[in-house]
Structure 1
């Protein structure tokens, strides 16, 4: 392929140098197979020769030019590969230096990426010309997929293998750290149960309205960013950023939230706020309360912010307000299922825990004890399937004002993929917009 200005986007010399290296050298094949695929070669005959070499190598058979020619004759493909004379010419003067063949392989790969990127750009332009405002989300996803497919091979080779001894060494380091290597939640019993929130996990926090699920998630974010200086982010359609800042300052300074909302702060309130303001204002906590009405937007924001700040924790509040795209899938059930699946994949991709806030359906309110169960999750059972941890929040005093358990909340760990489930009781201090351990209430 040539660029419009006539500059070629391939190198015959580099392609021949690579073939020269792998003809007969198992070391060269082992190195280059991590970089090059047969379709990375511009000349089809070179791709065919390379494929034949890999086939012979995989069968642990000789793969010099004589063996390759015999294999091509066997499959009646020698002429397509340029003929015996061409194969002999390519094999002549084989290089023994690994740095030379690796450099040439990288050059072949780079040209292949350039060609695929141009092809992707042409395809994206065709899609854009034929698109409209109704399918912009599908177009954006398709465009990202095209560019990723065009460039992914230049980012990584074959996935690495890990020696068991190296893995065990990491396990021993975890034991030395007390078993908790995840992001701490700030709740003693919950951290003992889970070891913190771990990379790649999807954690679902669910409750009926007015149970404090957004407050609880803010607790987790505050503990990560303010108490432990770990970068964290909240993506919310539930709350507005000034309300979030009020809640955070109320919890941190122990200033009544209704005082802050009404603007009737006492001298003691001002003193408490001034004391906590420096630590809170410098904490690596990021808030996004607009511009992610679809999951496509959310995923793009998460990736960008993670690249900039190296996030350790992300929370999404709330799933029932989020659409997968501008147009829904077949049903809301399917849409929430796809969102939860993609959140789990995003957590694995970014290698950080992601918290998803969900609202429970009304089934719990039909039961005598009102306690929620996992099948009360709204819209989708797939949310339960994709989650690593599901925590249901329940407060008796939300239903009975005179409950003997006033001020208490149950964190019902209904699912824990890597450990036991349990019900953990904590104190709910709604006037300070926070949950705390019972021992410190």
Structure 2
């Protein structure tokens, strides 16, 4: 807390201006907490001690919270005694100041409103401090510039996360909203309640891609993860007219467009690259350009995106184009925060942030992911398992749905268990579905 106060003083000296503060409102919050102990719980849901600009108010708040945590009454007398034990009674104004705080407040009814004002002032001070720290680092010009950018991003990100916190809501309105969604879904002739994937059998098992879900599509190289992700994006945008955002960390924009065109026109990409495409193929490509040009697909091919950058871009994209699906190709190419101690922790932070993004925007987020080499070392069919998710068990925990892309023919398996040929067949294995069954879908 002393460090925060020193930082506020540094900022004040630097700009010769008083940092944002509301001492009278801070007094009102403390007075309400002393007047009504039920108000303490409402205040601590919004504030912590760092939110108070006045150091005396900060110490009084800490004393009240200490009593609250011990399930003891917090009033003028008990708080004065707590401050006395800490050796802070006189420096906070003594018993007389505590009495003044209580006398100034008639009711605790407005404590949430007052607490939010105190929080807003605190966030402004922290934002100024973050900006000042970044300015100082820029002038000192020591270290890698991208590390400075990354640190600034993380500081801003940690500040913005506080704004996104939610409190309790009564179950009744949630039940009514949920029942309305169920009613509307029953009025439709389809069993798909989320975003349709375009794969009928897959939609039957998943009911579509559900809002706020993080869907992991995992597989070894050459299994067709990217092709599956692009096909999902194409089906959602072209067939359903739902805007889709694609973060392509592996392929450049023109490579992505080429894949889209070849898939839409059903032409061999190798023939196109080697200039051996027949006339009909060119005709199909022309038609494909027309169809895809009208599709609401938005692509960002920035390499090595950080979590903060991706979330900021996704928020802006939804605000401008109301996107209903995000596809990320692929998770391991994202850059985690500099504070991560190792790659496993970095991936854990990334996957947790993607789940938070899905909840924040209330849309499905599909993230492609690599599988570990353990798949290749295993005997038998080498079908992937949840334990094969690369570099972090957190991916499995954060994901609502895990889909594995598996090609039996890749491992020399010519027939499946039922004797069907496997050439040209990809299996989509639902390895995890938080709210539905697991199973396997065959795609040709």
| Range with bigger deviation, 341-350 or 394-403 | 394-403
Q: Find the counterpart in structure 2 of residue 266 from structure 1.
A: 279
1:27-426 alignment runs, 5 A limit: 29=40, 32-55=43-66, 63-66=74-77, 68-69=79-80, 72-73=83-84, 77-96=88-107, 98=109, 104-125=114-135, 127=137, 129=140, 131-133=142-144, 136-137=146-147, 139-150=148-159, 153=162, 155=163, 159-176=166-183, 177=185, 180-255=192-267, 257=269, 260-261=272-273, 262=275, 264=277, 266=279, 270=283, 272=284, 277-289=289-301, 291-293=302-304, 295-296=305-306, 299-309=308-318, 310-319=322-331, 324=336, 335=343, 338-339=346-347, 341-351=349-359, 352-358=364-370, 361=373, 363-364=375-376, 367=379, 369=381, 371-373=383-385, 383-384=395-396, 387-398=399-410, 404-426=421-443
Unmatched 5+ stretches in structure 1: 428-441
Aligned-partner Cα distance in 1 for 2:411–2:427: 14
> How many residue pairs are counted as aligned between the two chains?
414
TM-aligned CA deviation for residue 346 of structure 1? 2.0
**RMSD of aligned residue pairs (Cα, Å):** 4.0
- Is the 1:200–1:344 contact (alpha carbons within 8 Å) kept by the matching residues of 2? no
Aligned-partner Cα distance in 1 for 2:51–2:394: 39
- Partner SS state of residue 245, structure 2: strand
Q: TM-score, normalised by structure 1?
A: 0.75
TM-aligned CA deviation for residue 300 of structure 1? 0.7
Unmatched 5+ stretches in structure 2: 1-8, 416-420
Q: Find the counterpart in structure 1 of residue 3 from structure 2.
A: none
Per-residue CA deviation, residues 97-145 of structure 1 (Å, 9 max, x unaligned), is: 856x666544433333333333333444555537412x834x4443233
Aligned-partner Cα distance in 1 for 2:395–2:38: 47
TM-aligned CA deviation for residue 284 of structure 1? 2.4
Q: 1:146 to 1:375 in 2, by over 3 A?
A: closer
TM-aligned CA deviation for residue 218 of structure 1? 0.9
Aligned-partner Cα distance in 2 for 1:150–1:240: 32
- Is the 2:217–2:405 contact (alpha carbons within 8 Å) kept by the matching residues of 1? yes
- Is the 1:236–1:316 contact (alpha carbons within 8 Å) kept by the matching residues of 2? yes
- Is the 2:157–2:308 contact (alpha carbons within 8 Å) kept by the matching residues of 1? no
- Is the 2:381–2:411 contact (alpha carbons within 8 Å) kept by the matching residues of 1? no
TM-aligned CA deviation for residue 185 of structure 1? 1.8
TM-aligned CA deviation for residue 52 of structure 1? 3.8
TM-aligned CA deviation for residue 82 of structure 1? 0.5
TM-aligned CA deviation for residue 17 of structure 1? 3.6
- Is the 2:39–2:108 contact (alpha carbons within 8 Å) kept by the matching residues of 1? no
Q: Find the counterpart in structure 2 of residue 434 from structure 1.
A: none
Q: 1:27 to 1:239 in 2, by over 3 A?
A: same
- Partner SS state of residue 168, structure 2: coil
Per-residue CA deviation, residues 39-64 of structure 1 (Å, 9 max, x unaligned), is: 32222222233344445566776655
Q: 1:104 to 1:324 in 2, by over 3 A?
A: closer
- Is the 1:393–1:410 contact (alpha carbons within 8 Å) kept by the matching residues of 2? yes
TM-aligned CA deviation for residue 161 of structure 1? 1.4
- Partner SS state of residue 89, structure 2: coil
TM-aligned CA deviation for residue 219 of structure 1? 1.0
- Is the 1:316–1:357 contact (alpha carbons within 8 Å) kept by the matching residues of 2? no
Per-residue CA deviation, residues 347-383 of structure 1 (Å, 9 max, x unaligned), is: 2234242322325638548746565555555566665
Q: TM-score, normalised by structure 2?
A: 0.75
Aligned-partner Cα distance in 2 for 1:184–1:124: 45
Q: 1:13 to 1:319 in 2, by over 3 A?
A: closer
